[in-house]
């Protein structure tokens, strides 16, 4: 953690959003505590809302294309636009029942692992490509039997 200058603290389960050039879609779900600079927005679920809103659900919601389109709509500046924190804090968050949030998180976490985690994604991709190869090999090498007449 920095010892001088202005830093913003974050904790595990906070969501950090890059505020410069929001179109780059920089977002991180914190798995530890630390500090960051003022160019990163730290989103933390209020204590009174924690019983109704799962942090990972909120992360996936804020990582969506619609959130970043919303953020860009209110960004200020041309060369290096910055997100408008006040507008971002007004973003409407749909809050389905906890069971639905958990279901959404489970599905998106599996996809996230397949796409971003080499230890699970790469073997799954290799298996899928192997099956695809075998399918096309069998299709390409299956010929109709020719009748030979003398």
Structural domain contains residue 75: yes
* Residue 23 CB partners (closer than 8 Å, separation 6+): 68, 72, 81
Q: Tell me: the pLDDT tens digits for 54-101?
A: 999 999 988 888 888 888 776 777 777 777 788 888 888 889 999 999
The answer, yes or no, to whether residue 1 has pLDDT greater than 60, is: no
Same-domain check for residues 63 and 127: no
Question: In the chain, pLDDT over 90 holds for what percent of residues?
Answer: 17
CATH code for the domain in which residue 85 is found: 3.90.220.20
pTM for this prediction? 0.69
Residues spanned by the domain of 123: 97-142
Structural domain contains residue 149: no
Same-domain check for residues 15 and 74: yes
Q: What span, in angstroms and rounded, lies between the C-alpha atoms of 120 and 86?
A: 39
Q: What is the DSSP letter of 147?
A: P
**53 near 27, Cβ under 8 Å?**
no
Please, what's the b/e burial string for 43-58 (b: 16 or more CB within 10 A of its CB; e: otherwise)?
A: bbbeeeeeeebbbbbb
Average pLDDT, the chain: 81
Structural domain contains residue 74: yes
Same-domain check for residues 116 and 91: no
Q: What distances in angstroms separate CA 6 from CA 27, 37, 116, one per listed residue?
A: 21, 7, 32
């Amino acid at each position: 953690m920095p010892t001088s200058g202005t830093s913003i603290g974050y904790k595990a389960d906070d969501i950090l959003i890059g505020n410069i050039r929001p179109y780059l879609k920089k977002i991180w779900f914190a798995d530890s505590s630390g500090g960051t600079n003022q160019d990163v927005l730290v989103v933390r679920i209020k204590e009174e809302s924690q019983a109704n809103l799962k942090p990972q659900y909120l992360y996936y919601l804020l990582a969506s294309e619609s959130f970043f389109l919303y953020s860009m709509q209110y960004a200020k500046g041309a060369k290096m636009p910055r997100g408008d924190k006040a507008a971002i804090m007004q973003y409407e968050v749909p809050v389905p029942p906890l069971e639905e949030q958990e279901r959404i998180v489970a599905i998106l976490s599996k996809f996230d692992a397949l796409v971003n985690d080499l230890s699970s994604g790469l073997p799954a991709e290799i298996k899928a490509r192997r099956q695809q190869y075998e399918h096309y090999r069998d299709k390409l090498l299956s010929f109709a039997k020719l009748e030979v007449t003398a």
